[in-house]
Structure 1
Amino acid sequence: MSKTDVANRIETLIKELNEHNYKYYVLAQPSISDFDFDQKLSELAALEKEYPALLDPDSPTQKVGGDITKQFKTVRHKWPMLSLSNTYSEGELNDFDARVRKVLGDDFEYVCELKFDGLSISLTYEHGVLTRGVTRGDGTQGDEVTTNVRTIKSVPNKLRKNGFPEVFEIRGEVFMHRAAFERLNNERIENGEIPYANPRNFASGTIKLQDSSEVAKRPLDCFLYFLYMDGRDKQFKNHWDSLNAVKSWGFHVCEHTKLCNSLDDVFKFIHHWEKERHHLSYEIDGIVIKVNSYAQQDELGFTAKSPRWAISYKYKAEEVETILQSVSYQVGRTGAVTPVANLKPVQLSGTTVKRATLHNANEMARLDLHELDTVIVEKGGEIIPKITSVNTSLRVPETKQIQYPSTCPACNTLLIRKEGEAVYYCPNEEGCPPQIVGKIQHFISRKAMDIEGMGNETVEVLHKRGLLNRVSDLYNLHRHQDVLSQIERFGAKSIQNMLDGIEKSKQKPFEKVLFGLGIRYVGETIAKKLALGFKNIDNVIAANEEDIAAVDEIGERIAESVREYLSKPLHLEQIRFLKENGLNFEVEEKIIQLSSNKLVEKSFIISGVFEQYSREELTQLILDNGGKILGSISGKLDYLVAGDKMGPSKLAKAQKLNIPIISEEELIKLIE
């Protein structure tokens, strides 16, 4: 054959084999025998070996892997991979529906999807070619596993059809079918290797293997279910349309997805799959319910951890009986005292369970726990074991009821309990060792100050030596190098690395420092919003609860907690010390060239769907002209910009407070 004939034959084989892969793995409609497929694949591999210059990256022969990855690169997600709120109760699902209706009214749809028990993945495509695969990680950043993802046959390395945007991101779940899991696990047992507990663990372990050729040997699959891209709401009005589009582009989208017009339809879908899930070839642990319209998703927004427009309904977990051997108590960095049940070891959902959470004193009282009780344990969310009830018929006669302690198990301080809360707290934050150590460990953690050369064990050792009793002591450690050098396993190099890491932490931005302080209820997202809203710590200290609660996504509970923290002299003294030692307590201001100052000192909230601009564009328009965006409606709001399908609750509150309600056109006139 001439080189032209070879090139044409390679092109034909690639096209045929990719089409067969698509029919087999995506459509589940094979149109060729395995033998014939293998014959064509062998012919293609032979031609590519003889003519390496004609090798196409999209060739199915490239799904066999081969690269060795020494270390996975950490990649920050452009759009955070948030977790979903979970519920096991139909009553709580009714509550979710009521919250949605309170904001949106009754004109909306839900999309119901199976909740796959696998590993979350984010794939980026540029010009139709897979350029990056990243695990969920902590939701903010994950590990890049592109080479391993390319070996998954149901994930297209190159899209088959047109119509897709130049750059987009698609989220999904990597999983393993039950039959493949059982076969591979049996092979591990025969080889004397430790078997995996469940398909999810096997899939997760596989995607993180260093050798992609080994990944290719394990039959992973992947369902894709959510699209992200700039201007998505302009190309698609809702999630359902985008699902159908990505399916037409060649992605493996689960066929068991339903568009629902009512909560009754949602419940029918849930009840159907509660029975039918056992007939699937893969594991699911529940149903995901999403509001369909993208504009309405924007209207509902997010909490710090999860979207308000979606929820996961989990099917009841496996449960077992075992013996309660004792109850111990853990003191967290905020002083919260959490009871933990120590159990006679028992197998549950593929793992050995020795401990289970008891949550709080209220839960202990509900269970009426006695010594050596036979308890029923299940895995909440299939992850954290918890005691759900006691088999009182097996109770040992004359055993004592287990009493929640009145004093701190770590420092013997009298515990306190705030009105309306279920948790008891130790107020001795200066003298309670677990609180002291926990606060410092939180401060040095990767999500906060990310102090290199220092880990949790180091903090414990230095506290026991009397060198660390509060966060501010970190910045005095350089004065104690002689003492540090006398501690076992503290060499000169490790001490210097730690001190360098502490010094480097002074470069961290204000929101990281604020998060590192460990204020109750102030996570990463809230810390960032506080920093951007108030610009510096002095403004936060001076703000009252109403001012704090007015910041986007910050409610009364968080505002009260921030105000309480900043009212204590101990905390103010620590902040003063940290400021003097060079830590950032103000946002680094960027020079912004405003289009005009027409909206200076004016505040806005945007709600609804608009014709000329997207909500993001309107937000930017307001900011570019000197205006502010608030998070909630209050007497301090100047304008509510109202579009179509605006939430009725916002409208009612604005009318009650006599807030001017303006249209998209009226906003433009304000600027012009």
Structure 2
Amino acid sequence: MQFADAKERVESLHQQLFEHNRRYHVLDDPIITDAEYDQLMRELIQLETEFPELQTADSPTQRVGAAPLPFFEKVEHTSQMLSLSNAFNKEDLIEFDQRIKKAMGLDQITYVCELKIDGLAVSIRFEDGVYTLGATRGDGQVGENITQNVKTIRSLPLKLADPISLEVRGEAYLPKKEFERINQKRAEVGESLFANPRNAAAGSLRQLDPKLAAERALDLFIYGMDGESSDGFTTHQETFRAISKLGLKVNAEWKVANSIDEVWSYIEHWQLERSNLGYEIDGIVVKVDDYAIRAELGFTAKSPRWAIAYKFPAEEAISILEDIELRVGRTGVITPTAILKPVVLAGTTVKRASLHNEDIIREKGLLLGDHVVVKKAGDIIPEVVKVITTERTGEEVAFHMPTHCPECQSELVRLEGEVALRCINPACAAQIKEGIIHFVSRGAMNMERLGEKVVIQLYEYKLISSIADLYYLKEEALLSLPRMGAKSVGNILNSIEKSKNNSLERLLFGLGIRFVGSKGAKMIAQHFETMDAIVQATEEDLLTIEEVGPKMAGSIVTYFEKPEVKALLDRLKQANVNMTYKGSKIVRVSESEHSFAGKVFVITGTLESMTRQEAAEKLEQLGAQVTNSVSKKTDFLLAGEKAGSKLTKAQTLGVSILDEEAFLAEIQ
């Protein structure tokens, strides 16, 4: 193909892919199949490879790939990003309405009501229709340049439908399902959990490495233009429709209200229905629709006079902080928890609330005996909001985080880059108990009859002091325990005996190595096949595995270098605990003649004819490698029903996509 022909075709592919991307991510109304989209993307990648000079910054192939940043640069907004004044009840809204009517000498004002997305405000700039800048709100005048991170949001077009220059304002947010997925993944590797989707969204957009931001499926709603960009429009309704025509995503639930009573009806509706949304909202934004009226009303120093944010009342209660309990986790992290005088909140009795870490206690100025306001963050997690200082009597007592572990008295440390205090004594009783509880859990060795209470009882009666001791328990010793009958003892011993036959990945995950979750353990066990091979592996060996990054590799090598770990493994071997991988073996490419041999697969969505695990095992039997995340190394994505962000990423990277029918045809 000649250069001129290639250029024309690339431009055509850009237009087609932009439109299909808008229909998929913004309108939820695709008009071509995933396979057809994939074919167009592959053709574009091929042309850009053949003619590198045709690859532009706004190409659909350039979503992710920028190098990590050393820091965020400051960027000045073209016009100030103001905050909104708040309303907390209907009376506040009536006062707002009357004030505007009086100022304008009008009997009726038309408003536009929008859901107040609980995310992070961003400013986004386009030059001649091409995305050029993404920034945080900052102080309203100057924000941080997060251009590469915003670029990873799939619903944001990199090129507008018209080649115009403008700056728009929006709210980046994390869908509820993605928030749950991220926290589950963090829990698996012992990392602290995000308190709510807003914190997770903010943390994602402020990652210095855009690839890390891209791993989290952020989304975006555009809610307006800056002052200069909105010139030429007479109402907010017109602006919304213009934004949509440009290919930008607007929340579909906005409504025009011709009176404050209609505004209130909209608010009442969403107070009841907010839990049914796939994202968090914390209120309703009410704006005057007419731009001429807005211009007359103007601004205060901090906010526009023509808009107000109604904040949903978080259900709160007042309690007394009776104590702060410290828990030592299996990784040694010291977590403080508020012990409260029982109070009913959102239909349940709350006695405990999260304090996260020492910095939170200090920031809130908590004293033991304080009257405190408690709410459920995101309507789920009880949280201490603030202290009611006017209720203090002088009998309150300051709380100080200990310098030594509350369980073993070892000196606590704060590792570089971490907020939490940590006990690093491997013989700490609390860590040992938590480690054993993790070892017997369903995701690890799955000893069904050994719950948390039984483990603690065994430890406190000195029948076990490590996970290996479980395999040397005797019937007579168990029968000597309080409330332990013959049937219970038999069930416990059978459960322990059964666990000896587990495949290697369960044992590896059960050891509780930092940063090694269940999926990582499966990939490592499948790759090395024996515990001895894993023990002998170097960081370089481990990094050849798709799921393993530098942190995990370093943690594994450090763990197995410890003399006490080698002694532990010896005792497990002597107890005949299986040390080999029992799942489907990785067939070497040289041993398989199938076309899938040596290819890297990712499986997503729901399959009808088999489970994803069964599909993975079948692929491995054919010599393919199955990984969990889509990357440039991925050869095929097997996409079932309701395939999500992995499908989108695969399409962007030009990965070949198989539906279930095509997959079955290939393996039969």
TM-score (norm 1): 0.49
